[in-house]
Each structure stands twice: as structure tokens, then as C-alpha cells.
Amino acid sequence: MISVRGLVKDFRHWGRRLRALDGVDLEVRRGEVFGLLGANGAGKTTLIKVLLGLARPTEGEARVRGRDPRAASARIRVGYLPEGHRFPGYLTGEGTLRLFGRLAGLPERTLERRAAELLDLVGLADRARDRVGRYSKGMTQRLGLACALLDEPDVLFLDEPTDGVDPVGRRQIRDLLLATRATGTTIFINSHLLSEVERTCDRVAILHHGRVIRQGTVEGLTRPTQRFRLRLATDAPLPAEQLQAVGAAVSSSNGAFEVEVADLETLNRLVDTLRAERLLIAEISPLRAALEDVFVEVVGEEEAR
């Protein structure tokens, strides 16, 4: 669905040559949610602009649905929600959708149907006739997403879709994206809110100084660690000294315990020790590395080179 090969993008700034993208390679499959991660200035927005045909690469090639994104035909049924978008405050929510639908060339009958469907989908049906200037940040983001979905896109590009949105709004947008993916739409998300990406995306790529330094599935990157959540059936304290003696490090967390072991043999010795103390184990489950931890680790390794 989206293919990038050896992509390089240079800029001229005050007589200096700056490289925003440096040999980017990635693939996004049909019907998946793909997240592009990176700190500010990593080149995320530049890559999206290239994929939308808004910027010309210096080297390499990009394809969206097998086409050069600079071709007008490549942008048919491609939705885009830019970062920090703004709508005229005097327009209503319904009026905004009608304006963007006409700009996209939708027939009036189709536009009338889609506007009603999308306002209901994004939870703005009861605010459709309110002026956009009265909308909250979350409502404005949901309206922007509705505009991006007007043409029933095959590919949807989202640049920081939940930036500045409160937790309730982020959850609403996340649910919308998952519902959109269920229709077969391919979603490409550019974000630095890693917790949202972890909940939403199938695969991710980490971009650092214009280069992809790691990519894979969210599940694969956030692999289980040698840390485990341990909860006893009673409020009895853990025998810390005995557990340390078998090689387990113990800390408390949110009413439970976290134990870190070197291997599974140590974990089994830990369980034997608890049983010997007649302590009833209610839960013992592996802890996965958070995507944020993986990101910090990978970027740190890259900076140390």
C-alpha cells in the first residue's frame, strides 16, 4: 500500500544544506495501522509531505497504492489530517464538512449522506449546527478526522492526531481509528505520544535524525522482560531476604510486587520459596517493556554510537 525506498530529502537553509530524511526504507501493508515515531525534528512530517506529494524527494522513491504521490491521481481516496489544523470559526460543523466535500469534488447527494454519517460517527451529530469556534480541541480533532474520511479513503495519513487532546478525547479518537481500520482503510500515524501509538498501531518505525533505526510489530518490540508482577492472596509481606537469596530483586508497585529474575530457573526457585513460607500466590504474570522504554533505549543506543 505504501512503499518507500532509499528516500532522501535535503533542504537549503541560510546557505546550508540540511538533510531531513536520510535513506528511509519502509513498507506499510494494506489494512494495517502503522505508526511513525520520533522526537521533534526527526523528519516525521517531512516524510508525510513526501508521501502526499507536497514535497519532492532529493533521492529515492515513494509509492502510495503503487503510484508516485506527486501524480494527482495518486491523491484520490487519500485522507489527510495535518497537525494543528484550523477551520474558519464562523462555519458550523456540518458546513465545514460540506466545504471540504465540495473541494474534494464529491457529488452533492454523496456529500449529504457522508456528512450525516460522519458527524454521527465522530460523535458530533448533536453539535452539527454549532459554530466551530465554540468547539473544544477534542471536538475540532474529531471534525478534522471526519473531513479526512469524507472520500472513504483507502489510505489515511494522520499527523499528531491526539496532540493536545484530553484523555477522554484521545480515547474517542482511538476508537474512531480502530473502527476505521475495520473497514479496510490503511492508517499511517505520525506521533510522539507513544502510549497512544502502542494502543492503536499494528507496526511502528522509529525515525531518528531522518533515518529509520528500528521497525517491527508493537508486540515484537515490547517483548516480555524478565520482570514479573506478583500478587499474594493475602496482605502478608514477602520474605524479602529469602527471595534475594535465590537471586530475585523485589519492589512494590500499586498494591502488588514486581520481581526481576535472571532466568526461569530463578523464577521457579522464587515460587518454591513462597510455597515453603505457606504464602498463597494469586497472580504471577510477565511484564512487557512499554513502547516508551523501547524508544528511549533505541534512541539512546543510536546517540551513543
Predicted TM-score (pTM) of the model is 0.81
Q: Is the pLDDT of residue 7 over 70?
A: yes
**What residue numbers bound the domain in which 31 lies?**
2-219
Outline where 162-216 has alpha helix (H): 167-182, 194-200
Contacts of 55-61 with C-beta under 8 Å, sequence gap 24+, read 55/9, 57/7, 57/8, 57/9, 57/21, 58/8, 58/9, 58/10, 59/6, 59/7, 59/8, 60/4, 60/5, 60/6, 60/7, 60/8, 60/23, 60/24, 61/4, 61/5, 61/6, 61/7
Q: Is the pLDDT of residue 13 over 80?
A: no
Banded pLDDT at 301 (limits 50, 70, 90):
confident
pLDDT at 253: 65
pLDDT at 293: 81
- Please state, in angstroms and rounded to a whole number, the distance separating the CA atoms of residues 221 and 35: 13
Is 280 found in the same domain as 193? no
Task: Please tell me the total count of domains within the chain.
Answer: 2
Q: In this predicted model, what pLDDT tens digit does every residue of 187-214 receive, in sequence order?
A: 999 987 888 888 889 999 999 999 999 9
Mean local confidence (pLDDT), 174-196: 88
Look up the CATH number of the domain holding residue 281: 3.30.70
β-partners of residue 131 are 92
In a domain, 293, yes or no: no
15 vs 204 pLDDT, higher one: 204
pLDDT at 162: 83
Is 41 found in the same domain as 184? yes
- Residue given cell 489515511 in the structure block: 156
- Residue given cell 456528512 in the structure block: 115
251 within 8 A of 257, measured Cβ to Cβ: yes
Q: In this predicted model, what pLDDT tens digit does every residue of 273-289 receive, in sequence order?
A: 888 888 888 888 887 77
Q: What is the pLDDT of the chain when averaged over all its residues? A: 88
Q: In this predicted model, what pLDDT tens digit does every residue of 246-274 receive, in sequence order?
A: 888 887 766 678 888 888 888 898 889 88
In a domain, 237, yes or no: yes
Is 278 found in the same domain as 137? no
